[in-house]
Structures are given as C-alpha cells and as structure tokens.
Structure 1
Amino acid sequence: MSLIYPLDGLSAYPKHLSPDYKSTVKRSPTRPLILAPHTLSELTGPIYGHDAIQEFDNDLTKQGKGGEPLGERIIVHGHILDEDKRPVPDALVEIWQANACGRYVHIVDQHPAPLDPNFTGAGRTVTDKNGYYKFITVKPGAYPWGNHYNAWRPNHIHFSVFGHSFLSRLVTQMYFPGDYLFPFDPIFNSVPDAKDRDRMVSTFDLDNTVPDWALAFRFDIVLRGREQTPPDLD
C-alpha cells in the first residue's frame, strides 16, 4: 500500500495547478519538486486507529443520541485492492461527509443549511481478510463552496485509506452516478482523463440494496497502478 507514485499511474493524478479550482493557484508548487529519501520511521512507523474501532463507527446512522439522522439512508461498500486487484486486508478506511442538507459539522462551514444533531458525518472501519469494507450512512447533499459564481460541489463522500505505515495512505472522494454537477466542478475535473474520473464514481448496486430500507452503492478503491483510484486534490 505504498504511495510511491508509479509512472504508469500518473495519468490518474489531478493537476496540482488547476486554475479553475482557485486555491490551487496559491498552493501549487512553482518550482520543481525535490525528492527526499524516506526515513525508516516513515516506512515502518505505525498508524494508530486500527485497534480503536467502536461498535457503530461504520454505521453513521446510529451515532446520534436522539435517534437516526434525517436523509436518504444508503449503504456504501466495496473492496480495497492493490495494483494487481488483490485484496488489501486490515486497512483502516475512514470517511467524512456533509449531512443530507449539505452541511459539515465544522466551524468553518457556515452556509445556511441546518445541522443534524444525530449526524456526525464521520466513520471508520477496517477491511476484512478479503479487503472488504462497509458503511451505513445517509446520502450527502450538494453545497455551495465559493470557488466561483454559483459554485456547488457534487454529492460526495471523502475517503482515507491507511495501511501500516505513515506513507501508506490514499485520500480520495467518492461521487454518485449521474450527478448533474460533474461538468461544473473543477475539483472533479482536475483529473484530466475521463476514464480516471469515472473511477471516482460509485455504481448503484441493486443486489446489495436492502428492500424497504436502504439503497446500496459499490465503490472499489485501487491503491496504485494503471487503474488506481485518483487521489484527492481538495
């Protein structure tokens, strides 16, 4: 699960300088990058959290003290895979997202949408021996983000995948199929190739949809290689 970037996977990486995504103009490198050798602690240092999973950490609908959150209940599941499509067991998978109204539980998010007292917007789990993970949550709402006039982010869920060292991390975003905001979102379109962008879009999964309870979406994450899931520029 190393994040040492292979040359055959570079097409999946978003452009560091994407002028339509305005903050990249200020934060993207202006000089050639300097490769620093990795230290032993970076390559072997532990990632904390694998052993701290609580009962409802992967079920964001059961974390509220006053009942279930409002919104469309969904199941998000899939596999964490390496470049040869082999499962990655015991990987720490974390998610964070807006609530059904498009509001994060964060002091910086002050847009006029209601907070849900029964929704924290964060969850975590560890993959099983087959690299499989599963979350129960609510579908996040779109929200304005001020990048340009009338700018709205598509519905999305942030993913972080940790292996067993400081360098073995991938951060990406999962989108929902058929979102009408795709053509207008500079973060989504900072990944230059359409096939690579498609790997950030989940698929509707009727087989794992639970009748009368929740729709299911499958999102497999490939950590590196030609078919890797693009990392997050946000």
Structure 2
Amino acid sequence: MPTSPTPYRGFPLRRPTRPPFLLPTDPESAELYGPVFGQADVTPLDSDLTRHHPGAGTPIGERITVTGRLLDHQGHPVPHQLLELWQANAAGRYAHQGDRHDAPLDPHFTGTGRTLTDAEGRYAFTTIKPGPYPLGTPDHAWRAAHLHFSVFGRAFTQRLVTQMYFEGDPLLAHDSVLHTAPNAAARHRLIATYTPLPLPPGRPPSLTYHWNIVLGGPSPMVAPA
C-alpha cells in the first residue's frame, strides 16, 4: 500500500504577512495593477507551446495535446474566456530564475501559453509533457507531473488558478499538493484522462488528454495551486 504523502508545507509560507493594499475603486485604474500577458491579441500560435519559442529548434520531450471545456456548475459552456498555461519542461524544470532544480533547461521551450475558449467553451493546448521535480524537503518528496492553469473572468482581477495531473502517474499517491484537495472525488477531478481524439486542424501528431474545468458548484472542483 502506498504511504500517505507528507502534508504540503508551502501554504503557510505563501500567506500574506502584511495588511492588504487597497487598490483604486475605479476599474480602469485597478487594471493597471494587474498582470500583463502581452500587448497583442491572442493568436492560435499562443496555444502551441512547442512552436512559440526562441530559435528554430524543437522542444525535447513527449508532445501532448490537452483538450476540454470550461463549464459552469450547471454544465453550461463558458465562452470566450482567457486561459493561461505554464509548466516545467520535460526534465522537470521551469524557465524561471527562481527555479533552483539542477535539471537542464530547454532553450526551445518557454513553458507558457494562452488561448481563448470558443463559443462552446472548448479549449486546446499542444505542449510537452512536463517532468516531475523534487520539492527539496527533508523527506525527498517529489511533485507529480502537472500543468498550471489560470482562468480569467471579465477582468485580470477575476482569476482562478489550479493544476491538472495525468492519469496513471505513480507519483499521484505521493503528491502533497494534490492531496490538499478535500477528498478522493475532488482529486479525481484534477486528473486528465488519456483520450485518443482527432486533433484540431493544424495540430501536429501528439498524444491527447481530456480535462474539463468546472467552475463553482456545491463542492470544490479545483484544488489550490
């Protein structure tokens, strides 16, 4: 029987230690304090993380396509919403100066992408399957392979962040962040299934995973990231 994962210790470190900073009350001024994810409109290339990178090389790793729908708690599609994705590369390292994992960086992979849901709430990302990585804790714990998703509402100040995992990953039973979800049913909803599907036009060959994002409802549909 797998042992229970060590409780995730990161949340206390992420809690604010200072009083909240009050933003201006008018929406336009408040937007200036939000993140900025590019000055141009979202294009189809933004959702293919294997192509929008410096140079002409190809990222290293297993090419995958993740598809699904953004739905409300009644199962209705949420159209035309901005989704962002970021992740580690195939070696389990983020292209970020704060990542101290000694795995190699991939010069042809930035690990970030974005897309808009269509009229039926559908989305698709093509990327490289991320590798697991160590948490650097005394118990030598590792994170299971996962993708970070950000869902925006009508403004940058309306944002939900969650994570998606892969079925069959042996590290799922040991991932302390996944196990912050309240029960087995909630954890199951965070796991994408391998589902052979026809790829959208223009997508290169890749393994396909399916994962819906459901907002709201009587029980949590996503776990903290």
TM-score where L is the length of structure 1: 0.79
Q: 1:228 to 1:91 in 2, by over 3 A?
A: farther
Which moved further from structure 2: 221-230 or 110-119?
Answer: 221-230
**Aligned twin of 2:65:** 75
1:160-171 aligned at under 5 Å gives the runs 160-171=150-161
Measure how far apart 1:76 and its partner are.
0.6
Aligned mate of 2:207, from 215, 220, 231:
215
* Aligned AA (2:130): P
* Aligned AA (1:83): H
Measure how far apart 1:207 and its partner are.
2.7
Partners of 1:179 and 1:102 in 2: CA distance: 14
Measure how far apart 1:40 and its partner are.
6.9
* Aligned AA (2:158): S
The size of the alignment, in residue pairs, is 208
Partners of 1:86 and 1:45 in 2: CA distance: 28
Measure how far apart 1:71 and its partner are.
0.4
CA contact (8 A) 2:58 2:108 kept: yes
2:109 pairs with 1:119: yes
Measure how far apart 1:22 and its partner are.
1.3
**Aligned twin of 1:9:** none
Q: CA RMSD in A?
A: 2.9
2:13 pairs with 1:23: no
**Aligned twin of 1:137:** 127
Aligned mate of 1:98, from 79, 88, 91:
88
Partners of 1:185 and 1:19 in 2: CA distance: 8
Gaps of 5+ in 1: 1-17, 31-35
Gaps of 5+ in 2: none
Aligned mate of 2:43, from 54, 69, 72:
54
* Cα deviation 1:149-202 (Å, max 9, x = unaligned): 211100000000111034532110000001111221111001121001111000
Partners of 2:162 and 2:14 in 1: CA distance: 18
Partners of 2:152 and 2:188 in 1: CA distance: 22
**Aligned twin of 1:14:** none
CA contact (8 A) 1:58 1:124 kept: yes
Q: 1:158 to 1:98 in 2, by over 3 A?
A: same
Q: Percent identity?
A: 44
Which of 1 and 2 has higher RCO (CA within 8 Å, sep 6+)?
1
Aligned mate of 1:128, from 115, 118, 129:
118
2:27 pairs with 1:41: yes
Q: 1:205 to 1:227 in 2, by over 3 A?
A: farther
* Aligned AA (2:142): W
Does the residue aligned with 2:45 lie in a helix, a strand or coil? Answer: coil
Partners of 2:37 and 2:92 in 1: CA distance: 27
Q: 1:167 to 1:213 in 2, by over 3 A?
A: same
